[in-house]
Amino acid sequence: MTSTAGSPFTDSTQAAIARTRQHSLGDLLRRSALRYPDKLAVVDGERRVTFAEFDAAANRTAHALTARGLQKGDRLALLARNSYAYAVLAFATAKVGVVLVPVNFMLGASEIAFILTHSGASGMVAQDALADTAAKALAEAGVQGGVRGWIGADPAEGWEDVEPWISGEGPDHDPEVAVGDDDPLRLMYTSGTESRPKGVMLSSRSLIAQYVSCTIDGGMSTDDVEVHSLPLYHCAQLDCFLSVDVYLGATSIILPAPDPATLLATLERERATKLFCPPTVWISLLRHPDFDTRDLSSLRKGYYGASAMPVEVLKELSRRLPDVQFWNFYGQTEMSPLATILRPHEQLPRAGSAGRASINVETRLVDDDGQPVAPGEIGEIVHRSPHAALGYYEDEEKTADAFRDGWFHSGDLGVMTEDGYLSVVDRKKDMIKTGGENVASREVEEAIYQLEGVAEVAVFGISHPTWIEAVTAVVVPKEGVEVTVEQVNEHARGVLAGYKRPKYVVLADALPKNPSGKILKRELRTAHADLAQ
């Protein structure tokens, strides 16, 4: 056999070298299991699993997936709340190079059908409580055959219980599948700013570089005991926290949802040391009557992100949890997702800041021509980093636009100090972050435009004491047509997921515009800022 052009080695030797050097997402669990075989890895209700058991379960599940026809590069959708099975599937798919497509369980069937169709998913694993929505989505997408995995009891007809994949008699040795650093392993659908979500392709290289940044700048360690209650379909909980814990050999406590009473009781019972929550959940914990009765003395590290933490809430957290250090994580799905970090000693002196670029990231602000702006001036936030995604699935145009000039363009606007501290001042494309969820204003606008009688609509976010931002719609009816707030709300219930629906609807005669006809949403935000008061 002759060597490949440009290489001094034969193809077989190059393949052997590549396999020897492999450092993929699936390898991380195996290596933690070799280091800490008997250490507690995951707690899910009554289930307590060591790293050796976790790795064996992921291997069995990987073999089960391949036995059912899935191959490297195929896409598998996962529609479920947090569970041990979710964690197993995240690593099982990675071990055989199957691309996992986590699906937001708050979406409606039509929204999920789009993701299934766009991703070309070869199958789906769904939780029993979400099975009706899953079945409708599969039917609407026209997906027939393929894998049908069921998380829960009593699988419906056509579905297969995943528990035997996880804990059955199947082979538990590591699959021998070569997975390259930049083979896509995740397809994360982001609301983005378009009427349809984009599929962000993440690889082992993207994710592991990001895990290193989280570990170093986020003060994470092998000794951590972390509670994971935010949805694992989200990049933040899955890849800033759960997967980093697996990488380090830390212990993960998995909860299905961030119920404040359950979360507080779990922190006390498991002697947890670490917790991530968006500001809305931290606020819910502070306001819960159990907060002052639970023993939270084990907690040492707190993290927040998804939206800005109100300064007064940050001060209250510092006062009521004096032994807890806090970090603010800022980024985007396309950055796997971490970009900048505000560290514990910077929290109050730099309150409201998104911090500085993490260790594997360069961040700067640019104008519309891609040129750097001076400190103190508003510019678009752009990043250069191995964290960055491989691009948008099946979308050359949007990928080229987002990655132009060799930088990832976030679409967020910010201001940076001379010493590199970033403050996010607006979202260039009108993203609304409500309760830790991203909502594209254009998607909501297009949904409301479907209501007969609507001439114009503008959707934006206003400050809210609970949700941080509340989706707000100003609707202009067509001349001579009566449109009511109740009609708008009823229509929204039929076409949008709950978190995307406007919390406030205002009827107006006209929308403010500039001379070129662009709607001035900043004026609308100012005019309606008191709706939530």
Residue 503, in any domain of the structure? yes
**What's the CA gap between 280 and 276, in Å, rounded?**
11
Residue 20, in any domain of the structure? no
Chain-wide mean pLDDT for the chain?
Answer: 93
Residue 479, in any domain of the structure? yes
In residues, how long is the chain?
533
Q: What is the pLDDT of residue 194?
A: 47
**Eight-state DSSP code of residue 220:** -
Which residues does 128 contact at the CB level (< 8 Å), separation at least 6? 150, 151, 152, 153, 154, 155
Q: What is the pLDDT of residue 413?
A: 85
Residue 61, in any domain of the structure? no
Domain boundaries, position 489: 431-532
**What's the CA gap between 123 and 69, in Å, rounded?**
10
3-state helix, strand, coil in the chain (%, to 5): 35, 25, 40
> Tens of pLDDT along 189-208?
986 444 578 999 999 999 99
| Regions in the chain scoring below 50 on pLDDT | 1-2, 192-194, 516
Characterise 37 by phi-psi region: left (phi > 0), alpha (psi -120 to 50), beta (else): alpha
CATH of the domain at 488: 3.30.300.30
Give the dihedral of Cα atoms 64, 67, 73, 78; nearest 10 deg.
Answer: -40
Which residues does 464 contact at the CB level (< 8 Å), separation at least 6? 434, 470, 503, 532
Q: What is the pLDDT of residue 517?
A: 55
pTM of the model: 0.85
The tokens for 520 are: 């001035």
Measuring CA to CA, which residue among 208, 294, 222, 221 is closest to residue 40? Answer: 222
Tell me the three state secondary structure of residue 76. Answer: strand
Residue 526, in any domain of the structure? yes
The tokens for 390 are: 């491989």
The domain total for the chain is 1
Tell me the three state secondary structure of residue 344. Answer: helix
How many angstroms from the chain centroid is the CA of residue 519? 30
Residue 438, in any domain of the structure? yes
Residue 304, in any domain of the structure? no
> Tens of pLDDT along 109-156?
999 999 999 999 999 999 999 999 999 999 999 988 899 999 999 999
> Tens of pLDDT along 360-384?
999 999 998 999 999 999 899 999 9
Residue 262, in any domain of the structure? no
> Tens of pLDDT along 103-112?
999 899 999 9
Q: What is the pLDDT of residue 5?
A: 59
